[in-house]
Structure 1
């Protein structure tokens, strides 16, 4: 019989799903002046605006942050559920960003590279689930994110199911007003949440998700989006996630020259690293082609980080990522505890048999010695 457990180490780059990078997205744009997208609906990525009388939620959000010292890129992929034919969100960025569709294969390659290592540990004496205490002799495994104009549209593209608008604004109230004028009915607190970004002169990537046929609701895994912008230090926008009504989960892959870690908790549980190690993304094989295209090829340090936000309203900033004190490698290990056997027979049973056999031999020898001694003391015994 076996039990499966998970051993986690001190994280620098942590796992487990969803608010991450898009989390900071807050419905703000109708990218098509005639489209009406209204009441805000709190979801896994902080705030999202679906079409009226519709619902949408982010079931999973996975993000990749790459930084080469001058440029940052974020690749994000959403799995959504609900009955909304369209929805929208917004993401603040520190500098003007370019937006394009990402390669889904990046996530498959990263998942394979960071997969936990399975380690089998043997134990000698039977446990409660083993024979003869219980069980049937078979293994059972537990299964185990100020210019002249107040608001400026600096770019707009159609990318697969995404209608993308890139905005600049120097006044949070004006930004919210622009959204309202274009069919958005957003909460008053949005302007307050955006103010720190406006004060720092950040820009915004506003995205409207709409199926190309306009009929089917948003459902399932969407094509990933890839954002690139200048950055002297890597940052993962999180502040808008404080508007979420439900607990949030952040899962992040970070590709940089060194092992990276968040500068603080920013209102959530302590971030934990699920993987840290140097990888080679040169396209020597088909296993890392997508990563090679993303990073330009060559060695890079990969850190996988996970963090939970049980109370999103406590989020008080963005994740500013920094180099850890050392490039210490780490990998999550999945332990499988298995009863030690020899030839299919529990080792403890064989040991008991050996002990009983040895005891029998000892008893037999003692009896033989005693018999000989008695015989030697009887007169006339040859």
Structure 2
């Protein structure tokens, strides 16, 4: 006899029927905390605009496929063309793109920075330059020119030229790039040949090789004034608390819950270097602490971002076709000219990722949502900062070393 799975997705829909400028972040993407860190994890994608809703559901059902059945409450009889089979790969792409992430910085030589600042201060005084120098002035001081910059597929690309290798090496370090020891000699040899430098800011080719085998997602479409997710049926046959990841794709801005507190997870915190090899455990423990802090009643924001870009990227932004696969129906799909042809450009799609750990005792009501006009970016991002270990002496180096102990203590508390 089939086991009827009344999980969040089995239940997913008592819902609705349908027949910014941000400062760039410089750092290396290291890894992410994906949904597979959590047991009994289900995922649902809600694409919604003007009461029209498309919901894609997946879950972590384990066992014989023939023993699986999904129960989904809906407000009306669904026509055949309102029911589809989704693409698990696209949903996984969405999860990877929005996952909590670990990045790393490398401190530069404070004496080099100190000398350059002093030199520039003198130059500015001589030339009556304004007090606040632009990034372009900083590049000039280092003898580096950004000849071109692009966003191409998997990378943010910079094409650099430089007058000397030390300035180029310093520029790269200041902008978050790890430069191996001994690079100056090699850089210099290329500069002598009048070569430029192709620089990729974030490597997006790393793909997660972990993963459970999921049944293909089920997708339904309908229309309703209610923006909600029914979870109560999902607690009936649940063995303990369940993990739910909710991805909303909307046109206006960030989505939040109205009958439960929406909580932003701690972000942009520096963590000890050993976390690099244990980021999954670190993030799972951090999330559990936050759940307890909210007395097991919070809905946690892990990611909120315009779908056209990311910084740093844990995976490529979804393409227009992938978003259409997830139910986004309002794209105008203009064509962007590129070498070799044109490519559809994503427009007006804002992603919100919410993470809920729920049970009947703490989540007695279905989850109600509202779309806001807030398009500010947010990501659960954690930072590894490698210390400078040089022996140079200068006032800036002395101050730097004095600050390290305080930094270590703060990292340990995180």
Name the TM-score class by shorter chain. 0.3 to 0.5
Point out the structure with the larger strand share.
1
Point out the structure with the larger helix share.
2
When the two structures are superposed, what TM-score results if normalisation uses the length of structure 2? 0.42
When the two structures are superposed, what TM-score results if normalisation uses the length of structure 1? 0.46
Q: Determine which structure has more spread, i.e. the larger CA radius of gyration.
A: 1
